[in-house]
Structure 1
Amino acid sequence: MEDESCYSSVIFKPFDKEKSKVRQSDEFALYAEVKRKQSSEETSHTETTAKEASTPISPVYRRVSVFLGLLCFLLLAALTAVSIFYYIHMSKHNNILAQYTKERAANLQLLADKEVLEQETARLATQGQQMNSTLDFIIHKSSFSGDKYCQFTGNGARCTSCPQNWIQNGSSCYYFHKGNTWNTWTESQKYCEKYEAQLAIIDSVGEQEFINQHTEFYYDAYHGYWIGLYKKMGLTWVWTNDAQLERGFWSDWPDERYRYYCVLSMPSKNPVRSWRSASCSMKNRWICEMEVLTWPTFLQAQQNHSDPST
Structure 2
Amino acid sequence: MEDELCYSSVTFKPFDKEKSKVRQSEEPVLYAEVKRKQSTSHIETTEKGASTPISPVYRGVSVFLGLFCFLLLAALTAVSVFYYIHVSKHNNILAQYTKERAANLQLLADKEVLEQERARLVTQGQQMNNTLDFIIHKSSFTGDKYCQFTGNGVRCTSCPQNWIQNGSSCYYFHKGNLWDTWAESQKNCEKYGAQLAIIDSVGEQEFINQHTESYYDKYHGYWIGLSEKMGNIWVWTNGARLERGFWINKPYEGYKYCVLSMPSENPLKSWKDESCYMISRWICEVEVLTWPSFLQAQRNHSDPST
> TM-score, normalized by length of structure 1?
0.80
Find the partner of 1:271 among 267, 272, 275: 267
Look up the match of 1:208: 205
* In 1: Cα distance, 2:117 partner to 2:69 partner: 71
* In 2: Cα distance, 1:275 partner to 1:8 partner: 168
Look up the match of 1:157: 154
Find the partner of 1:84 among 60, 63, 81: 81
Residue 49 of structure 1: how far off its partner (Å):
6.5
Q: How is 1:42-121 mapped onto 2 (pairs within 5 angstroms)? A: 52-121=49-118
Look up the match of 2:195: 198
- 1:307 partner letter: D
1:183/1:234 CA distance change after superposition, 3 Å: farther
* In 1: Cα distance, 2:107 partner to 2:171 partner: 49
CA offsets 1:282-307 (integer angstroms, 9 cap, x no match): 22221101122221121111211111
* In 2: Cα distance, 1:150 partner to 1:2 partner: 133
Look up the match of 2:14: none
* In 2: Cα distance, 1:47 partner to 1:307 partner: 140
Unaligned runs of 5+ in 2: 10-36
Indicate the percent of aligned positions where both proteins have the same amino acid: 83
Is the 8 Å Cα contact of residues 148 and 154 (structure 2) preserved in structure 1?
yes
Is the 8 Å Cα contact of residues 178 and 309 (structure 1) preserved in structure 2?
yes
Is the 8 Å Cα contact of residues 230 and 256 (structure 2) preserved in structure 1?
no
* In 1: Cα distance, 2:209 partner to 2:50 partner: 133
* In 2: Cα distance, 1:180 partner to 1:6 partner: 166
* In 2: Cα distance, 1:136 partner to 1:172 partner: 17
CA offsets 1:147-172 (integer angstroms, 9 cap, x no match): 11101124221111111111122222
- 1:279 partner letter: S
The answer to whether 1:305 aligns with 2:301 is yes
- 1:120 partner letter: E
* In 2: Cα distance, 1:49 partner to 1:307 partner: 135
Matched position secondary structure for 2:154: strand
Look up the match of 2:175: 178
The answer to whether 1:286 aligns with 2:278 is no
- 1:198 partner letter: Q
* In 1: Cα distance, 2:231 partner to 2:179 partner: 24
Is the 8 Å Cα contact of residues 260 and 277 (structure 1) preserved in structure 2?
no
- 1:71 partner letter: F
Aligned residue-pair number: 281
Q: How is 1:223-242 mapped onto 2 (pairs within 5 angstroms)? A: 223-233=220-230, 235-242=232-239
Q: How is 1:18-33 mapped onto 2 (pairs within 5 angstroms)? A: none
Residue 50 of structure 1: how far off its partner (Å):
6.3
Residue 122 of structure 1: how far off its partner (Å):
2.1
Matched position secondary structure for 2:284: strand
Is the 8 Å Cα contact of residues 259 and 272 (structure 2) preserved in structure 1?
yes
* In 2: Cα distance, 1:136 partner to 1:202 partner: 24
CA RMSD of superposed structures (Å):
2.9
CA offsets 1:176-202 (integer angstroms, 9 cap, x no match): 112222222222112111212111011
> TM-score, normalized by length of structure 2?
0.81
* In 1: Cα distance, 2:119 partner to 2:237 partner: 39
Unaligned runs of 5+ in 1: 10-35
